[in-house]
Each structure stands twice: as structure tokens, then as C-alpha cells.
Amino acid sequence: MPIRTYGPNAVDWEERIDHDRLRRERLARLQAALDRSELGALLAFDFANIRYMTSTHIGTWAIDKLIRFALLPRGGEPIIWDFGSAARHHQIYNPWLDGTNRARAGISTLRGAFHPGAGIADDVAGKIARVLAEHGLQNEPVGIDVAEMPVLMALQEQHLTVVDGQQVFLEARRIKTPDEIALLAHAASMVDAAYDELYGFLRPGVRENECVGVVSKTLYDLGSEYVEGVNAISGERCSPHPHVYSDRIIRPGDPAFFDILHSYNGYRTCYYRTFAVGSASRAQRDAYTRCREFIDTAIAEVKPGATTADIVSLWPRADEFGFPDEEAAFALQYGHGVGLSIWEKPIFSRLVSLDHPEVLEEGMVFALETYWPAADGWSAARIEEEVVVTADGCEVITKFPAEELLVAGRKYWTVGGQLNTVRESQSHLNTSNGATP
């Protein structure tokens, strides 16, 4: 049975995403991962880890502030320290946090913006130390995901043993629950719609940043909580690939590829598609065909028990497409887990996966992305699909058509009929008096 997608509303006549179950199962997986570790507690400053642990959210403006923090003691329940008004909101609307018991006012150093003499870092460390002491965990190691140096030093001054906790968080988040998979599929369906709008908008004369605006509006209208980024690349900017949009004007015959990253109820997408605008050269078509072959070959091997090394071994080496080594070509032939953030476990890259393979398991959700430069020296193709590992294979949840290179923009008619969409962008190369296309 295919992975279901639903409307965004809650209804009484159909079982849809169960958010209570989502909260329970995420926390249970994190608690189990903590129990399997040698840590006494997990301390989170990372936005996604806090959400996974506490099911709280105060707006994407806070993602880079490192001002909120949450603690999960071994054998206990999570505690969140947040902006005073946000903490009050959690007390009223988040009953799973038991009111003032585990939703508390508290702030960190705001990435150093608070005066060091204010003692904010010491206050954070004191709050953590007191909770650990209440649970008899003051002598156990505390795993932290990310931290500012003043906070880290203040925790050590409390005689706490501070260690890396990222792997415990990532291990818990590696396998998705059914509700997480449904949310990821819904997020992808919104990008399907954004690509349809973009395909209708693309034409010579529009700018890359205008394409970003079209995509963002579509996603926000459909209920996205955060458009993390739209990577819009066109023309000669495709090779090399700069990973950032500009105000470049798109021209006839340009390739244009896009990566759309957004969040629906916290769950992300990473979803590339490539178009030709008006027409495509044979070199562009051939590059797209190679790019598609690489990703199809990889998808065919995705199943429980396969490894990331099995997948990346099917992809070309860096020196086969113009790069000196795998570090220089990193993220062009690539794969990564997708969940509350992008680039979760597992990671697929020749840089690491051949020597450190990870086993694929049912319930994993990840994106596979391929790239190939065209023989013309300036254009290229980029394709990305998100897949869910099933009991006997996988299912692709990114469904905007990509099996062949799509040509966007109006059709042009000549005295002899429709202008061929496979052509060089310079007209003289397509005439009998010019060079052979």
C-alpha cells in the first residue's frame, strides 16, 4: 500500500496523523537511546532536538539563537527552559509538560549578546546541575548536542562531565515513526505543487530570485511553517554549482535546477529538479540522462540490509566528473537522512561511506541526489528523490515528474512547424550553414 497523504485539517471521519502518538513515540525513542548509552542525561540547545524531545516550537526566528534549552534525565521526563511568555504558553497549551513542573522560564546567553558579567551562563549551568542532583545524576556524564563556550565552561565549573550527545539524538531520530513518515510525505506533496507553479512560471526574462518568490508563496499558502531555502541555479551558474540563488536573468536554452527546502510541522524536504527553458541542447539532455541513470540505479538497490557503501559504490568517482577528490566533490553525488532537519543519518558519500558503511533499515527516510556536468562545459543537471525504506524495498515520495528533462516556457512556432526543443541556444548552430548541432 502506498504511503498515504492527507488534507491538513483534523477530521472525525478519517484517521490521519496522530500528533499525540507522534509526541509519545518520539520521546520514547529518545529515552530508549539514552538508556542504551552511557550518559546520565541529554542537554539540547539545537532547535530540532528540542522539538523532538519536548514537542515545543516558538517560531523559526529562534533557530540560530541558542537561547532555549531542554534536559532529559535518565529515567525521567524532559524539562524545557524557554522565553518567559513562551514558557507560560507551554504551561497552558502543552499538557504533556505538566504545567510549571517541566515548562520553565529560562534563557541562555543569546550567542554572547548578553553582557558576560550578567552571569547568564552560570545560571544555565546551575539550573542543569540542580535537576541532575534531584535525579541523583550529578556524577553521570551529560551529553550535549551544541553549546556556546561560556555555557560549556560554566557546566564544567559545576563539576559536571560534559560529553558529545549528538550521536544519541541522531540515533533516536534515525528511524521514523509512521506519523513522521506521513508528515514527510505531506511536506513533499507541497513541493510537488510548488514545482508545478514553477514550471508554469519559468520563461526567458524571469530572474532566479523571482522563482524563489513563486516557490515560497506557494508553500506558505499551502501551510508551510518555514521555507528554509530555495536553491535556484540557471545557465552558466550550473557548472560549477554555487548552491545559492542570485538575480540572474534566465535566457532561452538555459538549464535551471532548483532545490526546495521547507518545513511542514517541523518536517523538512530536500528536493531537486532540473528544467530546460525553451529548449535543451543535446549536451544538456545527455547530462540529464546520465544524472537520472545514477539516481535510478541507486534507488533500485535501496532495501533493508543494504548499506550506504552499496549505494555510493554505484556512483561515479570525483575524478570522473571534474573534481580532484571526494572532498572537493562533496554533496554532488550524495544522500542524507531527512526529518526535523536535513542531513540527518544516514549519510551517503564516497567521502565516508565506503570506509564507514551504515545499514539501511525499514522506516528510514532519506534523500538521494545526483549531479552531472554537461559536455558543453557550462551546463549541468541535478536530480533528487526522497525515499522511504519499506519492508521489501523503498517508496519514492517526491513525485513531480523527473524521468526525462522537462522543457518549460512557451512553445515557439516557425514557418516549418514547431521549433525543435532539442537545439543549441545559438541559432546559427542549428542551421544548414552553421555547425552541426
pLDDT tens-place values along the chain, 437 residues long: 688 899 888 899 999 999 999 999 999 999 999 999 999 999 999 999 999 999 999 999 989 999 999 999 999 999 999 998 999 999 999 999 999 999 999 999 999 999 999 999 999 999 999 999 999 999 999 999 999 999 999 999 999 999 999 999 999 999 999 999 999 999 999 999 999 999 999 999 999 999 999 999 999 999 999 999 999 999 999 999 999 999 999 999 999 999 999 999 999 999 999 999 999 999 999 999 999 999 999 999 999 999 999 999 999 999 999 999 999 999 999 999 999 999 999 999 999 999 999 999 999 999 999 999 999 999 999 999 999 999 999 999 999 999 999 999 999 999 999 999 999 999 999 997 665 44
Q: What is the CATH number of domain 176-418?
A: 3.90.230.10
Rg (CA), the chain: 24
What's the half-sphere exposure (Cβ side, CA atoms, 13 Å) at 354?
Answer: 8
19-173 matches 176-418 in fold: no
**What confidence score (pLDDT) does residue 254 get?**
97
For 158, 257, 350, 385, the CA distances from 274, given in Å and listed in that order, are 53, 4, 23, 12
What's the half-sphere exposure (Cβ side, CA atoms, 13 Å) at 166?
Answer: 7
**What confidence score (pLDDT) does residue 278 get?**
96
Report the alpha-carbon distance of residue 271 to residue 361 in Å, rounded. 22
- The pTM for the full model equals 0.95
Sequence-distant (6+) residues with CB within 8 A of 84 are 105
**What confidence score (pLDDT) does residue 115 get?**
93
Q: Please choose, from the candidates 202, 322, 204, the residue with its C-alpha nearest in 3D space to the C-alpha of residue 273.
A: 202
Report the alpha-carbon distance of residue 27 to residue 25 in Å, rounded. 5
Report the alpha-carbon distance of residue 153 to residue 122 in Å, rounded. 9
Extents of the domains making up the chain: 19-173, 176-418
Query: Across the strands, what pairs with 41?
Result: 73, 142
- What CATH class is the domain 19-173? alpha beta
**What confidence score (pLDDT) does residue 126 get?**
97
**What confidence score (pLDDT) does residue 437 get?**
44
Sequence-distant (6+) residues with CB within 8 A of 17 are 6, 179, 182, 183, 186
**What confidence score (pLDDT) does residue 435 get?**
54
